[in-house]
Structures are given as C-alpha cells and as structure tokens.
Structure 1
C-alpha cells in the first residue's frame, strides 16, 4: 500500500510521532493508533477487552466487513483488506458491548507532499470523536505526484484552503489532476516583513528565532481572521472533505487546524499534541517541493542554511500556545474569539458538532 520510496521516511516519522504522543499524554479516554509501514498495524488500549475488527472503504458501518473475530491481543498487523490504493478504515467493536471506535492511518503516505494527515479520531471533552475523512491538512500540494493522486483522488476532497501568500502561490502553483476541488486562496501578497527579512533570518540565533515564531503566532488570530472566517463558513455549508494547507502545513495550517479542533470540542492539550507532529514529519520527509520553497528568496529562503532553521521548522507547542494566550488576553476566551472574529457562535458550534462528530 505504501510506495517504496516513502516507506522508510514514513516509518521513521511514525516512530517520532509515537514518542511525541507518549510525552504529551493527550487525554483520550479511548485511543487507538494505526500505522502503514508497509502493512496496517493497529494498536488499542487493553481496557477495550476482546474486540471484533471490521474494515471498510469509508467510516460507515453500512459498508464494513468483519475481518477478525474475538481478538484478545492489543495490537494487530495485517495487509490492506481493500484492493488498489483505497484507504482502509477499521471499526473496533468491544465484545462486552458499548460504543465502538473508528480508526485509520492519520498520516497519508505520499511521495511529493509531506505532513499530509487526517485530523479525525480525536476525542472531545464530552467523549465524542471527530469524524475521519473530513478534515485534512498538509504542506503545499503542488508537489503531488501522479502516484500520489491515485490515493488523494480516493479522498473525495471538495474544497482546498490555501493559506500561502500570493508570492508563494505564484512560485509553486498547484495543478490538481483529476476531479478538481474548489480552491480558496489567501490574498495576502507576502508574509510580515520580520518573517521574510533574509539577512536578519540568516544571522539570527535559535533563541531569537523561537521568540520570532511565538510573536508571529500571537499575531495570527487577527492576521488570518478573514481566511478562517471564510473557512468556517465553508465548513458550516458542509463543503467537506476539505484540505487546509500552507507551505509547510505547520504554522498557518497549524493554527487553522487548532481552531477547527477547538470548535469541535477537542481539549487544548490534545490540540497541542496534534500540532507537535508537524516538525517531526517535515524532518522525516523533506520533499523536493518543500526544499524548493525553503530556498526561495521570496519566502525568506536565506534561512534554509542558518542555525535559526531548526527553530523555524520546529512545531514546539509553545508556538501554538502563544496564539491561544494571545486570544485569551485579547478576547477573554477562545469561544469569544470564535464568535466575535469568525462568526462561529453557540449556534454555529452546535451545527459544526452535529455535522462532524460521532
């Protein structure tokens, strides 16, 4: 199921991500993980007890088929139960009764785009779960290969939110193959000057770069409010599955993804844990298109060879926390920010959760 070129990179990435999860201990009452290197490997908490495992081409109980009965172990490795490049979803049903759990691979194995992942499966504060196969996030999809599209086309993506600047869009345009989704691009010409000052970035130390990143995140809630307001309007209009991306799929995409998860009721600590994956995934899978973006002079490219690059590529939860802190300081709460700046008040939150939670 995985392309040979990406097997080692994705396996390495999953090892790093698993370590990040262990350190952060996101408060999921029931959590399972799925990796694909090269087979599906499922693992789940012993507290589920014996389970029946079903497989399906979509997270839909009407389409699932029983593949393992009365499994007493807490992990299982198996080849894909589906033909072709179709992504498999698994339903873990406790034999003792009670609600089951849909799981799938969070990270999609692509050749030309790093950090492409599904935001589904996360548990909310009231013990629902974000639906799989609805919210995708990634680095710029301009590097998707023909082989990548064989998998991406099966996702049925209807809308793409591009948070890159116009300069980034012009440098690396996305030429979507096959049935094209609706594209919604940011109209910002460039990033703030302090993020693209090549001379300053090239000579900046790591501590300075981290402070710069936290400052940028603190500005994002207002700076990207127009793009996020439009994104939430599309979610409320059910224009999903949807893909949100920037250049690395880490900073602007990380903040947008955090707001989506928060609106759905996912705890802040879980959101910070999800955000922390990006740095590891980017380092494990440096695609040609992402390397080119980092070397582009219009994108602050001189930083690519500087000591500050480590900080700029990192996904330290302190960065995203700076955005949360800025929101709380200015608006009092994230809920107030969603309502006042993004037109996502109590009624809209109820609608989003009815659409996108199991």
Structure 2
C-alpha cells in the first residue's frame, strides 16, 4: 500500500493515501511525507510541483535547515516548524560526538525512546504539530498536497504521519506498518553509513549506534503511544487536549482527506 514517489535526489518520499478507515479511504495527492529536500534535482522539483505539492512543512531544527536548506519547489509555500530547538533525533550528529555519548553510557535506543516521548510531552514539539494540523486543515483543494519532512523522514516525520493517520481513523497496526516502511527506503543509506564507519575502523559500539539511530523501530513509536495514553488516554485525545484540536476540526480533517 505504501506509495513511493520516485525522485532522483530525495529518499523516503511517499504519499499517505490509500489506507482504509471505518469512514473511508485516505485520499491520494493530499498529504506526502519525506526526508530531506536539500538535494532535490531540477527534475525532482518539477515532479513534486506536478504532483500537486503546494505546501512544504519542514520539521528540522534551525541548525539542520541552515546547514542543508531545502531546494525550493516552484509555487509551493514553505513553513518552518522545528519540532525541537535542536536535533534531538541525532540525525545530524557527527560520528565522533555520537561515539563520545555512547562511551558515556547513553544507548542509541534509549535516546530515541526519549525523543518519541518528547513528541507528546515537549511544549515546543506540541506547538509544531498543532500548527502542522492547521496547515492540513487549510488544504481544501483536491489534488493539492502538503509535503512534510525532516532529515531522514523517520522520527519527527514518522510521528507526524502516525498522528495524521490516527486522526483519520487508520488502525494502529497499519500506522505502524507505514512507519516501519522507512527501513525499506533508507536501507541503502544505512548500509552505506555503517560500511563507511567500518572501513574507517569505527568500533562496533559506534556502528551499532548509527544503525539504531537510523532505523525505525516499533519500540520507538510505541513510546509515543504509551506517553499519549499516560497523559491523555489516547493519541487522538493528545490532539484534542494537548494540541487544542477540536472534535469538529477532526471531523473536518476526515472530510478533506477521506473518500468513500
């Protein structure tokens, strides 16, 4: 069901359409998730414009966006909504700094689980996702898409996709399947990164840490669900009580993004 949008210089860009819910099917050409857009080719930008991308939401930190700014898609409006003030996901961390933290006792898995809890608990993150949902609500034209992304399209974007699909009524296991599909589309990148680290003589601790940071893991997203249940009762209630998204707005979102 995962619909990848093939691009020359961007990975993990895919349409969230096609998933079934009790009230209909998620429409295609309405909401797209992706990884970094900093290396888009001219053809890529033209392809995304033709696909109907009219809004681009960037979840990256200010430093990530400064170091690798998005290549602009013609006619698309850009929204910079950093989920965190700095890159908690470690998507842009140097191998040296990562190794230092690992040697100090921080495991990559523990770091990522903390990040996914912060999606629910961190006020900065909540503000970003609240504004993201409002952008989706304003996307009332058919065949016009909102594209949202971070660096790898895995964590900040993965949680954003889970939140949207949950509000549309997609079942949790289907949402998890969409989330884990990232591993298929980042497999080459992960393999290249770990191979390069091994070639440079990196210790096994670092190689394993890179892999843990770069892969989508069921335990990571489950931590967001756990935190949402602890604080709000469910992910939908997190949107209502934590983000101030009303029942009427959820209904409007479903009208915009579901087809019978």
TM-score (normalised: structure 1): 0.62
After the TM superposition, which residues 19-30 of structure 1 pair with which residues of structure 2 at under 5 Å, given as runs? none
TM-superposed deviation, 1:335: 2.2
Q: Distance in 1 between matches of 2:175 and 2:205?
A: 28
Instruction: Give the superposed CA RMSD.
Output: 2.9
Check 1:162–1:193 CA distance in 2 against 1; reply closer, same or farther (3 A cut). closer
- 1:339 correspondence with 2:234: no
Who is 2:224 aligned against?
Answer: 323
Q: Give the structure with the higher percent helix.
A: 2
Instruction: Select which of 68, 79, 98 maps to 1:198.
Output: 98
Provide the C-alpha distance between the structure 1 equivalents of 2:89 and 2:173, rounded to a whole number of angstroms: 31
Matched, 1:106 2:7: no
- Give matches, 1:268-287, under 5 Å: 268-284=172-188
| Deviation of 1:200 (Å) | 3.4
Unaligned runs of 5+ in 1: 1-32, 34-104, 296-302
Please state if 1:147 is matched with 2:43: yes
Q: Distance in 1 between matches of 2:119 and 2:9?
A: 28
Specify which structure has the bigger relative contact order, considering alpha-carbon pairs within 8 angstroms and separated by 6 or more residues: 2
Q: What is the SS of the residue equivalent to 2:148?
A: strand
2:155 maps to which of 251, 260, 271 = 251
CA distance in 1 between counterparts of 2:72 and 2:147 reads 13
User: Is 1:138–1:243's contact at 8 Å kept on the other side of the alignment?
Assistant: yes
Shift of 1:246: 0.3
> Cα 1:321–1:191, aligned 2, differ >3 Å: closer, same or farther?
same
Matched, 1:181 2:76: yes
The answer (yes or no) to whether the contact 1:201–1:308 under 8 Å persists in 2 is no
Q: Is the 8 A contact 2:99 2:206 kept in 1?
A: no
The 1:282/1:122 distance shift into structure 2, 3 A limit, reads: same
Residue 201 of structure 1, CA deviation: 4.0
Indicate the residue corresponding to 1:18 in structure 2.
Answer: none
**Structure 2 stretches lacking a partner, 5+ long:** 198-203
How many angstroms does 1:202 deviate by?
5.1
Separation in structure 2 between the aligned mates of residue 193 and residue 117 of structure 1, nearest angstrom: 21
User: Offset at 1:209?
Assistant: 1.5
Structure 1, residues 136-183: CA drift from partner, whole Å, max 9, x if none? 011011111122223212112111110100000000011314x23111
Give the length in aligned residue pairs: 242
Tell me how far apart the structure 2 counterparts of residues 318 and 222 of structure 1 sit (CA, whole Å). Answer: 17
Asked whether 1:117 is paired with 2:30, we answer no
Pick one of 138, 155, 175 that aligns with 1:237: 138
- Whether the 8 Å CA contact 1:202–1:306 is kept in 2: the answer is no
